[in-house]
Amino acid sequence: MYLSRELIRALATASGRPEHWRDRALCAQADPEMFFPSKGKPARPAKRICQACEVRAECLDYALQAGEEHGIWGGLTTGQPAPGPGPGTEGSQAA
């Protein structure tokens, strides 16, 4: 079953609790095993979903803070180096 982002927001609001970034996670509508693929299974389908996810930055931030050791978070596989700052931002290596 697919729930639109608007419906998910409306349900979260109606529940009376503050909205959390997880309420907008696209993976909540996908097979969880896709985001924790067993050895030899492709990670690409999950990463493709992450590319379209509006809370990708929050998700990656959470995974880094929490030290998640398994799964795909923010479009990256755990153990994969976190993306550095973008070009032209403070701390970037670009000249």
Q: What is the largest CA-CA distance in the chain?
A: 49
Measured from the CB of residue 69, what is the shortest distance to ligand SF4 in angstroms?
Answer: 15
Task: Return the residues of window 3-32 that contact ligand SF4 according to CB under 6 A.
Answer: 25-27
43 binds ligand SF4 (CB under 6 A): no
Give the 3-state secondary structure of 54-79. Answer: CCHHHHHHHHHHHCCCCCEECCEECC
Q: Which is nearer to ligand SF4, 9 or 72 (CB)?
A: 72
**Which position among 15, 23, 67, 73 is part of the footprint of ligand SF4 (CB under 6 A)?**
73
**Cα gap 56→18, rounded to integer Å:** 19
